[in-house]
Structure 1
Amino acid sequence: MARTVKSTDAADLALGRAIRMWRRARRISQQALARTCGVTFQQLRKYETATDRISISRLARIAETLRCPCRDIVRFLDLDADAAPPPHPVTLQGMTADRLELLLLYVELDPDQLAQAEAFVRARTGDDPKV
């Protein structure tokens, strides 16, 4: 019997990244989220990396555990990860899951780290706050 090769869909990848982003934002470990949802942490890792697809009932359970509506997890599925940045002012509309995850990490920085990050970004973008 021939074995079929599973292909990873862009939507599956985006969904996995969104679950990981929400889990990290809620400061929940893979193991804790998996236990609450009735799967192993290895299975949750497969969901987050899109190695395995996730059922809608499992997604609902994950969303419930993460204290967010399913629609907030899937809102990025129709966005292209390589899309141009959103126009200013930055809104959640048009923001990819990767960029939102970076934003969530940014708000966790302590004041010294924040100053270093701001200096780095300003140097990279050529944005001088003194102008």
Structure 2
Amino acid sequence: MKHPVDVHVGKRIRHRRWMNGTTQQQLAEAVGIKFQQIQKYETGMNRVSASRLWDISKVLGVNVSFFFEGLEVDHDAVPNASDMPADILTDKEALELLRSYYAIPENQRRRLFDLARVLSEAA
């Protein structure tokens, strides 16, 4: 049975890999494993060891804590409930929106963010 933390970490690996435009094969080669293992990490079928997560974080350019963002601090470590769908990191449209958002220059991105916030508050 998959542990919710393993599933969450796997989704965060996939999300960051996709945002970087890195393939499973490229990530696997960079950390010295086969791409099938990356697939298993991303689905939560296999747990990522601390040392492997460290290596993955370096390749993907994030702190290790990135993979745990969105988890509650309680002992059950169940992903946070919020207004967003539970599968937001598997939604291709959402990921494309994020990729496009980060392709915009920072000053324009900030204005777009402010606009989105105003529109969401008005909805």
TM-score using structure 2 length? 0.66
Q: Which runs of 4+ in 1 moved over 6 A?
A: none
In structure 2, relative to structure 1, the CA distance for the partners of 1:99 and 1:52 (3 Å cut) is: closer
Other-structure match for 1:20: 14
Match of 2:81 in 1: 83
CA contact 1:18–1:97 (8 Å) conserved in 2: no
Amino acid at match of 2:96: L
When residues 53 and 108 of structure 1 are mapped into structure 2, their CA distance, relative to the original with a 3 A threshold, is: closer
Please name the residue that 2:2 is paired with. Answer: 8
Superposed displacement of residue 72, structure 1: 1.4
* Partner SS for 2:51: helix
* Identical aligned residues as a percent: 28
CA displacement at 1:14 relative to structure 2 = 0.5
Q: Distance in 2 between matches of 1:69 and 1:97?
A: 22
Q: Distance in 1 between matches of 2:38 and 2:3?
A: 17
Within the alignment, does 1:44 sit opposite 2:44 as a pair?
Answer: no
Q: Select the structure that is richer in helix.
A: 2
What is the TM-score of this pair, normalised by structure 1? Answer: 0.62
Deviations 1:96-118 (A, max 9, x none): 77259754421445xxxxxxxxx
Cα displacement (A) at 1:53:
0.7
Which ranges of structure 2 fall in alignment gaps of 5 or more residues? 101-118
Does residue 106 (structure 1) correspond to residue 122 (structure 2)? The answer is no
Size of the alignment, in residue pairs? 99
**Bigger relative contact order (CA 8 A; separation at least 6):** 2
RMSD: 3.2
Q: Contact 1:16–1:49 (CA<8 Å) still a contact in 2? A: yes
What secondary structure, in the 3-state scheme, does the structure 2 residue paired with 1:106 have?
A: helix
